[in-house]
Amino acid sequence: MSAVLPELSYAPAPESTAPVTLRECYGLFIGGEWTASEDGSFFSTQNPATEEKLAEVTQAGPADVDRAVRAARRGYEKYWRKLRPAERAKYVYRIARALTERSREFAILETMDGGKPIRESRDFDVPQAAAHFFYHAGWADKLVWAVQGTDRCRPLGVVGAIVPWNFPLLIAAWKIAPALACGNTIVLKPAETTPLTALLFAQVCAEADLPPGVVNIVTGDGRTGAALAEHPDIDKVSFTGSTEVGKSIRRIVAGTPKRLSLELGGKSAFIVYDDAPLDQTIEGIVSAIFFNQGHVCCAGSRLLVQESIAEEVIERLRTRIATLRHGDPLDKNTDVGAINSRAQRDKIVELVQSGVEDGATLVQADWTPPERGFWYPASFFTNVAPTFRIAREEIFGPVLSVMTFRTPDEAIERANNLPYGLSAGVWTSNGALGMYTASHLAAGVIWCNTFNQFDPSSPFGGYKESGFGREGGIAGLRAYLDV
Amino acid sequence: MGSAGYPQRTKEVFLGGAQAREAEQPSIRMRLAPVSVDAVMLESRALQLSKRSIKAGAKRTAIDLIVACMDLTTLEGKDTPGKVYGVCARGIAPAPGVPSVAAICVYPSLVAGACAALADSGVRVASVATAFPSGLASLDVKLRDTREALAAGADEIDMVIDRGAFLAGRYGAVQAEIEAVKSVCGRSPLKVILEVGELGSYAAIRRASDLALDAGADFIKTATGKLSVSSTPPIALLMCEAIRDHARNTGRKAGLKFAGGIRTTKAALGYLSIVFETLGSEWLVPERLRFGASSLLDDLLMQREKGESGSYAGAAYVATA
C-alpha cells in the first residue's frame, strides 16, 4: 500500500541567539551602578557546549564585597526600610513583569552560559523565576498574616546570598524575591561558571528604577563568597550549593548574630512499589535524574525498586534512555544538554569509574559526544550495593544508581540511611502505602507519583546535611523576617 | 437511608438480568488485573512530546507522511454520493506533488459509490460499522452492518466498542464482540474505536486498549469524532504505550488511528512526535498509523505551500471537497 515514504527525523531546531546582547566585559553592580573592582582582575565565562568564551567577568575582592555590603546597608537605611510595603510590592511586581517580558532573552542566555537544554530554561527556569517574584510581591504588604502569634515582623537588614550554577537565575530569584518583599536589601554572588543571567538581572533592576543599593551583584569565585559570608555587616547569609561549602559557611557564621539558611546536597531516594503506574514511573525517573543533566540538588539519584518488578523497570528504563535526545543545548528538541564545566564532568567520570571498579553494571545511552564541550551520556548502574560510593555520594550528573528492596519498611530504612535528606519520590497506586512511606521519610520534599514539581507557594528545603531553612511558601518568608 | 421509598426488588431484578446474560455467555465477567495510570506524568510527557520543534525539511517530510497516513473522512447525516465523489477525488490527488491519502472513510451505505470513485487509485475504502457511532444494537445487527459494508467493497472496517458493556464491567462481552467482528472481517483490517471521551479515566482507556488489542484489533482508534472530547496528546501517548507493550508481549505490531478534533498541522505534528518517540519509525506507515480527519488536510496543504513559497496562500487557494 505505502509507496516510498520518507523517513522522519527532526531537523536541527536551534534557538536563535539574536535576542541576547553580550558585553565584552562586565563590572560589578553596586549601589545601582556598574563599577570596576579595586584590583582590576577578571575571569572569563564560557559556553560549556562549545568551550567558547562568552565574556569577561569581574573577580570581586574583599574590598569590593565591602563596598557592596555598604551600598546595601545604605540602600536599606535610606530607601528600602522607609518605603511603605505596598510600594515595595510594586517594585517586586515590576521585576516579575520584566522577567516575563524578557523571558526569551533570559532563557537563551541561561542555556548559553550553563549548558542546560533551552526547553528547560524556557519552560522551567525563567517562568519559575518570574513566578517567585509575582508570588512574593503579593506578600509584601500582608506579612503580618504570614506569621502567627505576633505582630512583630521586621526585615533583617542586609542579606548576603550565594547561589550555585545549576539553576543560576532561578535560585537567585528564590533568594532575591522574598528578601526584597520582606524589606531587606541584598548582595548576591552568582556562581563562577554561570554569572551572566544574574548580570542581566542587574540590568532589569536598573531599568525597574529600583533604589540604589537594594540589589547588588558581585561576581567571583569561592573567595568572593567567603568574603561575603564573613562580612561583619551582613545580617543573614543564604547559601545554596555543596554540603562541603555549606559546612564551611556554617563555621564562618558560628558565634555571630547572623542568621543562616543552607540548601545543600542530596542523594535522594526514588521508591517504586510493585503497583506503581509503570510508564509514568519511567518518565518520573527520567525527570528525577536526567533533568538538567542531573545537576539538581534534589535529583532522585537512588532508585529503590521493589525486587518483584526490578527486571521490568530496568528493561523499560534501558529502552527509554535510548530515546533521549542528547546534544546542542540550544536545540529546542534536546533533552540532555552539556555538563556545566570541565571540573564537573571530571567529577562524574571519576565517580562512574569507582562504580565500575566496585562491581556495578553500567548502562549508558549510545551517543557519541561532540569533540568540543563537556558532555556525559544518560547512564544508570544496576547491581549496586548500598555501600558503594555511587550509592552514597552525590554525583550531580546524569547517573542513576538502581537498587532493590523487598518490603516498605526496608525501602524506608534504605532511603533514610544517608546523611542527606532533601527530597524523595514514592510511586504506588495505593494511597495509604504512599502516605505511610512519605510520613516515615526524613526528607524536606516528598513527591508522590510525580517528581520535580515546584511552585513558589510550596516550601523547599532539607533535613540533616541537606541543610535547613525553607525557600518558598510561608515558611520561606520567615527566613527573611525578624519575628 | 436504607431502601426508603424504593422497592427492594429493583436491584435484584437488575442483577438477575446481568446474571442471566452471563449464563448465556460464560466469558462475560472477566476479572482483570488492576490498571494503573497516573495523570500527572502522563500529561507532562505528552506535553513535552507535542512541543517538539519540527521545522524545514523535517516539516515537509512530516506533512507528506500525515497525508499518506490519512483517512479522509466524511461521516455526516447529510452525506450524499455527490459529496463522497468529491472527497474521493480530493483524496486521490490532494494537490500537485502531494501523496494520496491512505483511505476514504464513509458510512456503509456510501461505500459502493466510494469504491467506484476510487477505482484502482490505490486509495482504500474504510467504512464505519457496528451501529456507529453509539454501538447500541444487537450483535446480529452489528455483524450484518459489517458484512454489508464488506460486501459493498470496503477494504477496512472501523467498529465502535460497546461502551455501556465496558463501563458495566462486562469486559468479556466487549472482547467477544470485537472477536466476532474481526472474524467477519477476515483479512480486512479492523479498527476498533474506543470512544475515549466516554470512558472516563486514563486507566479505563488503557484497559480498553489492552482489551481491543487482545481481541485482535488491527488498529485501535481514539474516537468517533462525534464528541467534544476525542483525541488528546496524553490519550495518544497512553494508546501508543498499550500498542508498544502488546508488540513486546505478543510480537504483533498493531496500528493506531487518531480521530476527532485534529484540525491543524501543528496538532498533527504533535501526535506524530508522540508516535515517533514512543513506537519508533516502524509505525510511521499507513499500515500502522492513521489520522482520521475531514478538515486537517486543508491546513496541511496550506502549511506545505508555505514551506515552499514562504507565504500563506489563504484558504481560498486550497481546493476543498
Q: Which residues of A touch B277 (CB under 8 A)?
A: 323
Per-residue model confidence (pLDDT) at position B152 = 98
pLDDT tens-digit readout, B239-270: 999 999 999 999 999 999 999 989 999 999 99
Cα–Cα distance list, A36 to A58, A161, A216, A354, B276 (Å): 7, 21, 13, 44, 53
pLDDT tens-digit readout, B21-67: 444 454 455 666 678 999 999 999 999 999 999 988 899 999 999 99
Candidates B239, B237, B244; CA nearest to B208 is B239
Instruction: Say yes or no: A430 contacts chain B, CB-CB below 8 A.
Output: no
pLDDT tens-digit readout, A394-439: 999 999 999 999 999 999 999 999 999 999 999 999 999 999 999 9
- In the structure grid, which three cell numbers stand for residue B51, read together? 512541543
Instruction: Say yes or no: B96 contacts chain A, CB-CB below 8 A.
Output: no
Q: Do B61 and A7 touch (CB under 8 A)?
A: yes
Domain map (residue ranges) of chain B: 38-307
Q: Do A5 and B287 touch (CB under 8 A)?
A: no
- Asked whether B166 and B208 are in contact (CB, 8 A), the reply is yes
Q: Which residues of B touch A332 (CB under 8 A)?
A: 52-53
* C-alpha span between B224 and A267 (Å, rounded): 48
Q: Do A10 and B53 touch (CB under 8 A)?
A: yes
Q: Which residues of A touch B50 (CB under 8 A)?
A: none
pLDDT tens-digit readout, B157-192: 999 999 999 999 999 999 999 999 999 999 999 999
Overall residue count recorded for chain B in this entry: 321
Q: Which residues of B touch A2 (CB under 8 A)?
A: 68, 285-287
Please give the CATH topology (third level) of the domain spanning A269-448.
Aldehyde Dehydrogenase; Chain A, domain 2 (3.40.309)
Q: Do B58 and A10 touch (CB under 8 A)?
A: yes
Instruction: Say yes or no: B55 contacts chain A, CB-CB below 8 A.
Output: yes
pLDDT tens-digit readout, B266-292: 999 999 999 999 999 999 999 999 999
Q: What ipTM was predicted for this assembly?
A: 0.90
pLDDT tens-digit readout, B88-105: 999 999 999 999 999 999
pLDDT tens-digit readout, A194-226: 999 999 999 999 999 999 999 999 999 999 999
Per-residue model confidence (pLDDT) at position A3 = 52
Please give the CATH topology (third level) of the domain spanning B38-307.
TIM Barrel (3.20.20)
pLDDT at B5 over 60: no
Instruction: Say yes or no: A4 contacts chain B, CB-CB below 8 A.
Output: no
Name the strand (E) or helix (H) holding B186: none
Beta bridge partner(s), residue A300: none
Per-residue model confidence (pLDDT) at position B29 = 57
Expressed in percent and rounded to 5, the helix, strand and coil fractions of chain A are 40, 20, 40
Candidates A417, A348, A347, A426; CA nearest to A387 is A417
Instruction: Say yes or no: A7 contacts chain B, CB-CB below 8 A.
Output: yes
Min CA distance, B245 vs chain A (Å)?
Answer: 10
Residues of chain A with CATH 3.40.605.10: 25-264+473-482
**DSSP code, position A6:** P
Task: For A74-100, give the DSSP string.
Answer: HHIIIIITTS-HHHHHHHHHHHHHHHH
Instruction: Say yes or no: A429 contacts chain B, CB-CB below 8 A.
Output: yes
Per-residue model confidence (pLDDT) at position A462 = 96
- In the structure grid, which three cell numbers stand for residue B65, read together? 507522511
Chain A residue with Cα closest to B238: A279
Q: Which CATH code, of 1.20.1050.10, 3.40.605.10, 3.30.565.10, 3.40.50.2000, is assigned to A25-264+473-482?
A: 3.40.605.10
* C-alpha span between B87 and A271 (Å, rounded): 54
Q: Do A5 and B38 touch (CB under 8 A)?
A: no
Integer distance in angstroms from the first to the last C-alpha of chain A?
Answer: 75
Chain B residue with Cα closest to A430: B36
Instruction: Say yes or no: B2 contacts chain A, CB-CB below 8 A.
Output: no
Per-residue model confidence (pLDDT) at position B313 = 79
Q: Which residues of A touch B48 (CB under 8 A)?
A: 119
Indicate the residue of A8, A276, A287 with minimum beta-carbon distance to B58: A8
* 3-state secondary structure (DSSP) of residue B290: strand
Chain B residue with Cα closest to A1: B122
Per-residue model confidence (pLDDT) at position B243 = 98
Indicate the residue of B37, B58, B287 with minimum beta-carbon distance to A280: B37
Query: Chain B window 169-228: which residues touch A at a Cβ cutoff of 8 Å?
Result: none
Q: Do B276 and A7 touch (CB under 8 A)?
A: no
> How much of chain B, in percent, has pLDDT values that exceed 90?
82
Residues of chain A with CATH 3.40.309.10: 269-448
Per-residue model confidence (pLDDT) at position B24 = 46
Question: Is B257 known to be catalytic?
Answer: yes
Chain B residue with Cα closest to A429: B36
Which residues of A are known to be catalytic?
Answer: 263, 297
Query: Chain A window 446-465: which residues touch B at a Cβ cutoff of 8 Å?
Result: 449-451, 453
